[in-house]
A and B are shown apart, each in its own frame.
Chain A
Amino acid sequence: MAPITKECDYLVIGGGSGGLASARRASEQWAAKTIAVESNRLGGTCVNVGCVPKKVTWNAAAIAETLHEAKAYGFSIEETAPFDWKSFKHKRDAYVERLNGIYAKNLGNDHVEWLHGRAHLLSKNEAEIVLDDGSKEIIRAKKILLATGGHPNIPKTSGSELGITSDGFFDLEKRPEKVALVGAGYIAVEMAGMFHHLGGETHLFIRHDKFLRNFDPMIQDKIMSEYERQGIIIHRNSSQSKVEKHPEKSGWLKLHFSDSETKSGTLDLDCLLWAIGRSPEVEDLGLDRAGVKQNERGQIIADDYQNTNVDGIYSLGDVCGKIELTPVAIAAGRQLANRLFGGPDFKNAKLDYTNIPSVVFAHPEVGSIGMTEPEAREKYGDGVKVYNTSFTAMYYAMMEPDEKAPMSYKLVCVGPEEKVVGLHILGSGCSEMLQGFGVAIKMGATKKDFDSCVAIHPTSAEELVTLK
């Protein structure tokens, strides 16, 4: 049967954070006839296998920490109350499904037509969508947005398919007893923290001697020492040569590795998680047919305005690999919709990619915006002044010294005006603390601006406006 042909103003390929934000803005605000295509679940990575289930699980892990701490406050509770992983997982799934439903509803409310299927570009203004039942639709669009996101990588190591990735983390129906994570980015660090607090023996394998290598050294050092204090086993300078099914224990694996202490060792585990990086989702997108250029990692090349090299085709979000965060994709998506459909007022609309704040949900939380100290020193040399503080939050007043978690802040300033070019914070409460400081720094705050605001007492945040 001949495929149905449709025409529209805006075809958005990818129903994740970036794609949907752009589609909804174009349709609802600018009345652009918009079609969105999603091949998996609405909401993309963030809703289904990223931010949302991550944060829910982090909340569960945070509760475990509080249970551990309650005894110091005088509560008669066993330090680790049993955790029903399966029932928690099902509740989390139900929550995500509700969100999938809400996303569909929102698209409807904003008059965006959406198709469930896999898109392939046919040319620079046409794409073929293969729907679930095998039927096809050809969409001809004035503008096309590629926001197909990415997926986690699995290494070529022998037996690597026996491990899971972050996607698989959210499928786990029961708590692993002994888990190894391989990777040194924020995903590995976040998941290692969660596994540990939810009650498993946790090993983290990193290639070098530090993790979070794009973060300020203060963060790297303090989180690593805190993780080790908590009991997470970190294998430095490590590599993995082979993964095999465990010869005796059914359902278990044997990992062959080397690290700074062991030339050739093995580890028995019931869960191995690769968090070694993500690749763009472009394989069958048909980029070559439209002539869209990619970089050496396969990511779609987009300029500051989200233009690709092909007129009428745009790209944003994880598939471009610029700053892989949901709110960045959303903001870029909205700016793009404004620029394409909002008329002359918005002809220069784009997202400013500088000073974007982000949080790592480790234990404790990490917040960061702007330059690291090394980056600042490289750019500004002697003009850099750094303010530091480390302290213990009042919450830990009840605990023994070895049970207290750290709190550390670093403010990186430049020039005689002491303009704040970087802020790095670590400790309980930092995840909610950073946003406001992000606004101030984006406004061009100086150290004096920070100091001019009266402190709020007693909080941890007040230490940021009383730095010496």
Chain B
Amino acid sequence: MAPVAKQYDFIVIGGGSGGSGAARRASGWYGAKTLLVESKRSGGTCVNVGCVPKKITWNFASVSEMLKDGVHYGYDIPQDIKFNFAEFKKKRDANIEGLNEAYERNWSREKIDLVRGIATFKRQKEIEVTFEDGDSAVYTAPHILIATGGYPITPQDIPGAELGITSDGFFDIEDLPKKMAFVGAGYIAVELAGVMNAIGVETHMFIRGNTFLRNFDPMVQKTLTQRYEDAGVIIHKNHKGFNAVVGLRGGKGEGRSLKLVESNGEELEVNELLWAIGRAPEIERLNLAKIGVKLAGKGHIEVDDYQNTNVEGVYALGDVTGQAELTPVAIAAGRALSNRVFGAQHASGGPHLPQKIDYSNIPTVVFAHPEVGTIGLTEPAAIDKYGKDHIKTYHTRFTPMFYSFHPAEEKKLQPTEYKLICQGSEEQIVGMHILGAGSSEMMQGFGVAVKMGARKRDFDACVAIHPTSAEELVTMR
């Protein structure tokens, strides 16, 4: 006998940042009867293998760096302090488990029904969920949101590639490798390589071009790539690729050994290899073809400004759409979607709440060493858009006071550099790029100002706060 379909107002496929944001808004604020389907761990990428463990590990690396900085201030700190990475990892894992539970508590409190399994579309308003034990159930709703996120890509055409890990595997590491290779030039490669280098792992990066972070402003690319090299990261530039990865010794940490066979014939032996060459949308098992959802080039789900797919009542947001793959973006898009679909008829809702999000001027931070913050256009993009004659840039570079006691060769490793890109006679700020200690907490407020349409003179009108690094941004000449 055919299973009876359980009916909901809203089905959310994916319990990550976007899905959770949408589900909680719909159910918690507007009382929509909501089903949340999650196939793995609550909180998705961000909580389990993304933002959260990344930042905790970055904090660990920052503490490690501070211990070295302390020597110059007159602290009697031994140079080679031992640390217990496994103990740190255990605490990190426990923290994440706490967050998994917090997500589930929040869902439960907001009366969201959570099921664990894999969802596939049977019909436009109907999905089937297959549970871990093999059982399945069918659910229907007039509104279904796909927020299944993405996963890191491992190359399919290099023999032995599967011997390497991805960012997912990075967070399984308990025994530190002595020597590690990172392939990729995006922020994930840069962040993870930066952390490993900071805690004493011999770090190699393989990049196709001359600099990494190629979507970032040239100033960031140049200064950060240089800084990584000065800090001991061995960057193999203009790399043509690999022919094979050969396993020499199994095991963990320093015991494990891989041979990387480069396409130019050279070989490198490392303990661990990490592919950070891009991410793909998690759509395979959804059976989107069944309902005719349109996909873009790399398999991302195509959506309009309101997160509608081409199929009525089916929406998508977050990493699966490939738009601004950031947790806060997914959360904001999820909430806006629920405002639009469920809020109109509800007392808590209304047109004063965002019905869609603005994807322009989204500030972000890269947790490299040092941190990078950015919003808006790069200089080349600004010139492209407005013409060279209409663009004026302001730039400054200095060593923050914190490093005043460091010897010269170490000061070199701690640059702070800021660039403002202004447009037109009003000098409207269309891009801001900052690099240096403190940038991660510095960026948000400037993001608000830039989003409000700040001009150079608005920056200058605010009295500086002294002594800080941030003050240099309101006193640029």
Contact = CB atoms under 8 A, between A and B. Distances in A.
A and B assemble together? yes
B449 A457 contact: no
Contacts of A455: 328, 331-332, 444
B466 interface: yes
A439 B447 contact: no
A429 B74 contact: no
Interface in B438-461: 438-449, 451-452, 454, 458-459, 461
Main secondary structure of the interface of B (DSSP, over half): helix
Nearest to A441: B462
Size category of the binding interface on chain B: 35 or more
Main secondary structure of the interface of A (DSSP, over half): helix
B327 interface: yes
Nearest to B352: A448
Given A59-B73, A59-B401, A435 B467 contact: no
Given A398-B91, A454-B328, A462-B444, 5 more contacts: A56-B404, A82-B76, A430-B441, A458-B55, A459-B365
Interface in A281-305: none
A438 interface: yes
A439 B446 contact: yes
A30 interface: no
B474 A76 contact: no
Contacts of B78: 77
Given A85-B74, A436-B442, A431 B405 contact: no
B52 interface: yes
Contacts of B263: none
Interface stretch (B80-88, B313-321, B337-345, B390-398): B80-88
Given A436-B470, A437-B445, A452-B451, A457 B328 contact: yes
A456 B363 contact: yes
A394 B329 CA distance: 20
A453 B363 contact: yes
Given A327-B463, A442-B462, A63 B449 contact: no
A440 B449 contact: yes
B74 A87 contact: yes
A456 B449 CA distance: 14
Contacts of A177: none
A432 B69 contact: no
Nearest to B99: A397
Given A443-B458, A454-B362, A458-B55, A84 B63 contact: no
Contacts of A434: 445, 465, 470
Contacts of B81: 70, 75-77
Nearest to A87: B74
B84 A74 contact: yes
Contacts of A64: 75
Contact of A60 (B74, B452, B462): B74
Q: Which 7 A-B pairs have the closest CB atoms?
A: A436-B445, A436-B446, A437-B445, A461-B444, A435-B470, A432-B438, A88-B74
B471 interface: yes
B172 interface: no
A350 B185 CA distance: 49
Size category of the binding interface on chain A: 35 or more
B51 A433 contact: no
A77 B67 contact: yes
B168 interface: no
A454 to B, nearest CB: 5
A452 B74 contact: no
A67 interface: yes
B64 interface: yes
Contacts of A433: 441-442, 444-445, 470
A436 B88 contact: no
Nearest to B458: A443
B409 to A, nearest CB: 17
A295 B64 CA distance: 53
Nearest to B359: A454
A234 interface: no
A75 B67 contact: yes
Interface in A42-67: 46, 51-52, 55-56, 59-60, 63-64, 66-67
A457 B82 CA distance: 30
A422 interface: no
B76 A453 contact: no
Contacts of B210: none
A76 B87 CA distance: 11
A445 B365 contact: no
Contacts of A437: 444-445, 448
Contacts of B85: 74
Nearest to A332: B463
A57 B67 CA distance: 16
A55 B401 contact: yes
B124 interface: no
